[in-house]
Amino acid sequence: MELFDLKGKNAVILGGGGILGTDMAQGLASAGACIAVCDLREEMAKKVAGTVQVHNVKAEGYQMDAMDINSIREVCGRIGKEFGHIDILVNAVGGNMKAATTSDTLSFFDLSADALQKVVDLNLMAGAVLPSQVFGRVMAEAAGGVIINISSMNYYRPLTRTPGYAAAKAAVSNFTQWLAVYMAQVYGDKLRVNAIAPGFFLTDQNRFLMTDAQSGELTPRGRQVIQHTPMGKFGDPGDLVGTLIWLSSRASAFVTGITVPVDGGFSSFGGV
């Protein structure tokens, strides 16, 4: 089990104030890592950091706009000074929006170009590229470490209604492969890059698609999801922790450039 030990490691989680980010912060802390929680909402970042401290590790919350590279640079500098070194970067910024989602009343042809661009920028640029440039440079110039992007099972099977989100998450996994090769060719085994592709987890971003806001019952789309998930349920945020710790630790020392689905079998199921 020493292979999975993260004691002495410092992890930065972008988008750490969200539902999935919260459990990922808790999971890495339970393995011994100190945690820097970054989120657009400073109060949520500090709240998560406060809950992480029960694991007797250093934890701080930071306000960061991952769409703004200057904000990323400023916070990265602060974390470096306060934590000393950065070993793990988890890029968990992402999400979808109604204006970029087709429906019975909104066709693909009428989707807002601005909304689609925002979703692509949020998931690809803010969710992978920009943080990897800033934190990746710091890590590469020091002792190295691991970068873990959060993709989606949309990478394997694009879903109806979410063209911008599906395209962006596919790009995240492609970028993960590209960056893994680049880092390996330039820095050897010093800096690894992988991704996790969550299946269906109820979050603030997709709840409006999966459940009825008033009754809480599954929508027709929510029922379709469950029917096409062999395990027959939504994922629990804690289900991501084991894969995250594995990719963050020495247990995956010879693993780089992969996207691991954590989806209850959704990406493997043909529907019959």
DSSP line for the chain: -GGG--TT-EEEEETTTSHHHHHHHHHHHHTT-EEEEEESSHHHHHHHHHHHGGGSS-EEEEE--TT-HHHHHHHHHHHHHHHS---EEEE------GGGS-BTTB-GGGS-HHHHHHHHIIIIIIIIIHHHHHHHHHHHHTT-EEEEEE--GGGTSPPTT-HHHHHHHHHHHHHHHHHHHHHHHHHTTSEEEEEEEE-----TTTHHHHB-TTT-PBPHHHHHHHHTSTT-SPPPGGGGHHHHHHHHSGGGTT--S-EEEESTTGGG----
Flag whether the pTM goes above 0.85: yes
Residue 182 bears catalytic tag: no
Instruction: Summarize pLDDT for 94-134 with one digit per residue, the tens.
Output: 999 999 999 999 999 999 999 999 999 999 999 999 999 99
In the prediction, which pLDDT does 214 show? 83
In the prediction, which pLDDT does 228 show? 92
Chunked into runs of 10 residues, the chain (272 residues) has average pLDDT values of 96 95 96 98 97 95 98 98 98 94 96 98 98 98 97 90 96 98 98 96 76 85 91 93 98 98 94 84
Which position among 62, 155, 165, 187 bears the catalytic label?
165
In the prediction, which pLDDT does 205 show? 66
Q: What domains can you pick out in the chain, each with its CATH number?
A: 2-199+235-262 (3.40.50.720)
In the prediction, which pLDDT does 25 show? 97
